[in-house]
Structure 1
Amino acid sequence: MSGLCDGRVVVITGAGRGLGRAHALAFAAEGARLVVNDLGVGLDGTPGADSPAERVAAQIRAAGGEAVAHGGDIATSEGAAALIRTAVETYGRLDTLVNNAGFLRDRMLVNLDEDDWDAVLRVHLKGHFLPLKHAAAHWRAETKAGRTPAARIVNTSSGAGLLGSVGQGNYSAAKAGIIALTLVAAAELRRYGVQVNALAPAARTRMTERTFAETMTAPDTGFDAMAPENVSPLVVWLGSAASAGVTGRVFEAEGGRITVMEGWRPGPSADKGARWSPAEAGEAALKLLAQAEAPGAAYGA
């Protein structure tokens, strides 16, 4: 490996399995020192019986790397603060935060319970906000002390947050919120040497195994397009000092493809210079829609 992250301290949430585990191993292979966070819950967020975070940390140490496990709930202020504190107290610094933790409770909207809405928003959106907040507070203090960092945050969104996904109103809303949070954080934290980007990955994990049931392995090359390890190289680069100048961006990564996503921006517009009547507004809207690009269809539509 190239040693792209030699000496950097990287915190990854939801790193016990799937994408988070792949990210942790990829960062370690590039010389990073890891804090591996995972609450060890099931796919629906209920408590599990094992400690996947410790298994991943032990695997990294067995390969000659440095890693510690953290099993706290990062959707609480206490757990998020403890996560950041673990990095600083263990390694003396913090360089990169990868927010990845999440789970699913899928229902069509008319069947979606309030508890299932709250649980998914809590882990995905609040679980991004709180570690980000505590990491940012640390980096702000470093900057005020004259030690401006080359800090990086990589957030995990989804195509569901970009286009919507039928049966996943709670998940889609949370992932869309993560994109907006990324844009705000990139603008606010730039002064402290912090770059913030988001990724919309497509890979086979516990959360997507029904969607990507087939291996999608190319017969001629043996390339498994849905392996989570395909997503990690971009995450490692975004989390390294080599990504200097890249912030406030959203990327999509799937197999061997990387795409820069271009979000909301003004399209066709009309200005009457006075108040429209409802009929006039409707007529103008139809004309503008005829000039506009058609939106992508929601997944499952």
Structure 2
Amino acid sequence: MIFDQNAAVSVSVLNDIRVYMLHFEPEPLSNDADAYLIAPMRTLITNIKLAVERLSAFTEEYGDEKLMTCTSVLEHSHNQLRRLLLNLSVVNAVNKGEIPWLPVTIELKAFCAGLVEAAAFFGEKRGISVTFECGLKSCFAVVDRELFEQMFLNLLSNSLISLEKGGRVKVTLSKSGNRLILMIQDNGPGIPPEILSTVFCRWRENKTLVETASGAGIGLSVARCIAERHCGSIVIESRQGQGTKVIVMLPEDNESYTVFRSMETPYSLDSLDPVMVQLSTWLHASEYGPALND
């Protein structure tokens, strides 16, 4: 009886979110998007998280397979919605001219290597190779950690989504003059020329937010906004049948940010939450919930 009540709460929350998103047209966000879109979504996402936690408690206690599946699906949906909310929040901040900027100095080589290692863990299960190369002994940069992480995983997710078994993603970090070059290259199907010219345009396709949550619409636009906030840029090269290469160029460690410096620790597989959120459009529901702890 208690399980039925929890399941009913979960289904109700998901239905509320789906109805809300289906009726929202992806027009350019106005300055009051916080009030009519982002804040309501944040509340709904919090509700679904609470529902997941309640179901997880029963899953651990009873070990019911159907309950495990239900919990995994809910947690997967929750992470997809969190990803969408993070992207919408950046777009809204850009529109308002208030994109956040909390710079810290990080060792970029170790940080990127950790993110790639996490993606490679899941890629191996699909027969997809995800590798990282950096010839630099060390590589320090001033970045907003959360924004950089969002940009990097957004770009990595785009590559992974395009691949099937036997696919390869290679991430390299190098230096050219006073610029750091982060490159993500895959051997996927490539991007058609008519689409390549518009990949950075928000809402480039007529999609509802439900469809946008599956990964089409604003991810690359958000990545470019974040790169530009770091005084950098993004270039995409792609050929159909040969794959896609995304090049992010960032300024090297800038002494003018010394007052903000707070050395960050390298990325660790113990902190999978950002990966589970940002790669949620590529990951399967079966990789969430209790299954992740196995």
TM-score range, shorter chain: under 0.3
More helix by share: 2
User: Which of 1 and 2 has higher RCO (CA within 8 Å, sep 6+)?
Assistant: 2
Structure index of larger Rg: 1
